[in-house]
Amino acid sequence: MPQIYSAFASEVKVNQETIEGLQAIEYVSLRNVQDVGAIGTDERVGVYFGRKVVTGKLRVASANKTLDDLHQNETEFSISATLKHRDTIRKVTFDACYVEDRSFSMAAQGHGETVYSFSATRVREE
């Protein structure tokens, strides 16, 4: 049976500080993969795994001063997310992160939202 984590019960921290107003977190872990071919066949005979790239986004209602400062000062930080479903807990940690860019939007009859895009050296899932 799949685990459906609740955003209401979960939390995300940047350098041990809970991100207030967090609307969403998303990330992608992409590994560079190259096929190894052989002479005389059109099928691969192996796979070479290269560098791993981890990127993500934090969506925050209005803005977050801590993330703004990290972006402005080009400072390294860590992100730890604790995802919860009843008694089940899954921890996701991002090491050596940098805010690469941020964007702000506000729609009519809505509230402002800032999206902080980040990169990380690695992601660890427990």
> Could you give all domains of the chain from N- to C-terminal order, each with its CATH number?
6-125 (2.30.110.20)
**3-class secondary-structure state, position 82:** strand
**3-class secondary-structure state, position 50:** strand
Q: Is 95 exposed, middle or buried (0-12, 13-18, 19+ CB in 10 A)?
A: middle
Q: Which residue has the tokens 């590994």?
A: 31
Span 69-113, pLDDT tens digits:
999 999 999 999 999 988 899 999 999 999 999 999 999 989 999
Which is it for strands 113-120 and 22-37: parallel, antiparallel or unpaired?
A: unpaired
Q: Sorting pLDDT into bands at 50, 70 and 90, what band is 6?
A: confident
Q: Structure pTM? A: 0.89
Q: Is 124 exposed, middle or buried (0-12, 13-18, 19+ CB in 10 A)?
A: exposed
Give ∠ CA 31-89-83 in degrees, rounded to 5: 60
Between CA 17 and CA 65 the distance in angstroms is 11
Residue 2 pLDDT: 78
